[in-house]
Amino acid sequence: MSNGNFVSILDSSLRDGAQGEGISFSLQDKISIVKALDNLGVSYIEAGNPSSNPKDAEFFKKAKSLSLNNAKLVSFGSTRRKGVSCATDEAVNALLAAETPVVSVFGKSWLAQVKKILHVTPEENLDMIRETVAFLTERGRTVLFDAEHFFDGWKQNGEYALKTLEAAVEGGASIVTLCDTKGGAMPLDVYEPVFTVVRRLVRKTEIGIHTHNDAGLAVANSLMAIHAGASHVQGTMLGFGERSGNANLSTIIANLELKLGYKCLPDGRISDLTPVCRKIAEITNISLDQGMPYIGMNAFAHKAGMHTDAVLKDSTAYEHIDPAAVGNNRVILISEVTGRSAIIEKLHSTFPEITKESPVAAKIVSRIKAMEKDGYQFEGAEGSFNLLARKILGKYKPFFSLQYYKVIGEQHVEENPATSFAQIKISVNGETTITAGEGLGPVHALDVALRSALEKFYPVVRTMRLTDFKVRVLDSKDATAAKVRVLVESTDGINMWTTVGVSTDLIEASWIALVDSFEYKLSVSS
C-alpha cells in the first residue's frame, strides 16, 4: 500500500538498461552497481532475467551472499507460456531458482498483442497472468506485475487492459506497474488512465509507472503518473536503455524529493546522488552526458557574462536548486562571451590576491579576450588558463626554451604502418639538449621526444602522462589550411589538467598544448 508521501524506486539499469547500445556488464560490474544503488537507498534493484541469459542466472547465484541495507533484489521474467502449468514452465522455475525476495513478472495488457504475438485467447492470457503471479506468491515471493504496453492497450480496449491488472491482483501482486513500452505517450495521455486505475484498484495493490524516453518525456510521464496517484517508479539511474533510453531515475528522484515533497530515499541520501551516479557511469564505462539534469558536470555551469554576474550576485537567479543538495558543484566556464567578473572570480579562486580592482586583472582579461578571438577557448582548458595567469602575474619562471622541433612523418609502401619521428632541441639554464622520439603519429612522437629531454632536468615529469587528446577544426571551410584547436588532457595520478593550443598547423597546435601541459605540471610542482 502507498505509505503517505513515499514513492518506491525500482532501478532496472542491470536488466532493461542492459538493452542499451554499448552497454554490457561483467558479473563484477553488476555486483558493484548493486552495492552503489543499495547505498543510495533505492527500494528495488531489478538485476536480470535468469531464464533468458545464463550470465544473469550466474549473477543471482553469486548475489545470494550479498547483504543489502536498503534495497531488495528483483529477478525478472515473463508469465508462463501458453498451454503449460507454472510448475513445468522453465522460465518461471528459473525465477524461483534465482531466490530473490522479489520477482517481477511481465505480461501483456494490449489485446492486439495477445492475439498477434502470444496466439492465445484473451481469457488464457488472463489465466497466464493470474496463475504465474499466484504460483510465485505462494512460494513466498513478493511479486510485481509489469503490464507491458498498458497505455497502448488502454487506447485499444481499456476494459481488457484493466482486467489484466485485476488478474495480477487476484494472483497477489504487491505492485502493478503500467508500462509505456514504446515510449511514445504524451503527458496528458498518462494522467487519466493512471488516475482511473488507481481509483479502481485502491487498497488492493500499489500502482507503478514504467516509461521510456522515445518522445523525450519519460521523466515528465513518470511525474504525471505520481500526480495521478501512482507510488512506484521504474527506470534506470542514468536513463540508459534501448532506443532513447528508460526514465532517468536520478532526475525523477531529485524532482520528487526536492521539488514535489515526496520521499524516495532514506533521509539524507539525496546528497549522494551525484557521486553515486558518476560511479555507476564509471562502472558501466559510459561517458555521462555533461548536461544531465542535477548530476552532470555542467548541470550548474555558467558561461554567459550577464548570467554569471547575476549568479555571483544571487545564485537563486540562475540555479533552480543549491547544487550541494544533490552533491554537485557550481562551475564558472571561461569563454568568449564571459564577462570580466567571471574571469576574475575564477582567477580569485586560485590567486586570492587578485580582486576586481587589481590592475593586473584587466591585463589578464584583455589577453584572454584577444586569444579567444584567435581561436583559443579556455573553457575546459584550466591548465592553460592557470599558466597564462601565472605568466602575466610574474609568477612563472621559464623551465626551458625551445631551439627548434622537427617532425617527420613517412609512409613507404613497403613499410607498414606509417611512422613518425620527432627531433627537438631545448635549453635549460644554458645547457642544451637534443632528443628524438618515435611515435604512432606526429604528436605522439613529439610527446616522447619532449618528455625524454625534460626528464634529464625535471624527474617529476615521469609521474605525468597524457590521457586525452581532442582536435577541433575551426573555420573548417578553409579545408586543409584551416585553423585547428587541440586540447590535451593530462594527469599525474592525483590531479588532472587540460591545456590548449591553436594554429593553422596541426603539429604546432599540438605542440603548444603539449608544452603547456608540461609547463603547468612543472609550475605547480616547483
Interface of this chain with a copy of itself, residues 481 to 520, rule: CB under 8 A: 481-482, 484, 488-489, 503-508, 510-511, 514
DSSP reduced 3-state for 418: coil
The answer to whether 238 touches 23, Cβ cutoff 8 Å, is no
Q: Provide, rounded to whole angstroms, the least separation between the CB of residue 439 and a copy of itself.
A: 7
Measured between alpha carbons, how far is 229 from 197 in angstroms, rounded to an integer?
9
Among 120, 466, 492, 523, binds a copy of itself (CB under 8 A): 466
The answer to whether 100 touches 10, Cβ cutoff 8 Å, is no
Residue closer to a copy of itself (CB basis): 201 or 226: 226
Q: What is the DSSP string of 132-191?
A: HHHHHHHTT-EEEEEEETHHHHHHHHHHHHHHHHHHHHHHT-SEEEEEETTS---HHHHH
Q: Provide, rounded to whole angstroms, the least separation between the CB of residue 380 and a copy of itself.
A: 7
Site for a copy of itself in 6-45 (CB under 8 A): 18-22, 24, 26, 28
End-to-end Cα, the chain, rounded Å: 63
Residue closer to a copy of itself (CB basis): 134 or 334: 334
Encoded one letter per residue, x for contact with a copy of itself by CB under 8 A and - for no contact, window 102-141 reads -----------x--xx------------------------
Site for a copy of itself in 364-383 (CB under 8 A): 377, 379-380
Q: Provide, rounded to whole angstroms, the least separation between the CB of residue 101 and a copy of itself.
A: 25
Assess 409 for contact with a copy of itself (CB under 8 A).
Answer: yes
Measured between alpha carbons, how far is 105 from 176 in angstroms, rounded to an integer?
10
The answer to whether 47 touches 34, Cβ cutoff 8 Å, is yes
The answer to whether 184 touches 215, Cβ cutoff 8 Å, is yes
Residue closer to a copy of itself (CB basis): 109 or 174: 109
Q: Provide, rounded to whole angstroms, the least separation between the CB of residue 431 and a copy of itself.
A: 17
Among 68, 97, 301, 371, binds a copy of itself (CB under 8 A): 301
Residue 511 gets which letter from DSSP?
Answer: H
Among 85, 349, 350, 403, binds a copy of itself (CB under 8 A): 403
Site for a copy of itself in 139-158 (CB under 8 A): 149
Per-residue b or e along 349-370, where b marks 16 or more CB atoms closer than 10 Å to that residue's CB: eebeebeeebeebeebbeebee
Q: Provide, rounded to whole angstroms, the least separation between the CB of residue 310 and a copy of itself.
A: 6
Site for a copy of itself in 162-201 (CB under 8 A): 181-184, 186-188
Site for a copy of itself in 200-219 (CB under 8 A): 213-217, 219
The answer to whether 63 touches 31, Cβ cutoff 8 Å, is yes
Residue closer to a copy of itself (CB basis): 337 or 434: 337
- Taking only Cα atoms into account, the Rg of the chain, rounded to an integer number of angstroms, comes to 29
Burial (CB count within 10 angstroms: exposed 0-12, middle 13-18, buried 19+), residue 247: buried
Assess 447 for contact with a copy of itself (CB under 8 A).
Answer: yes
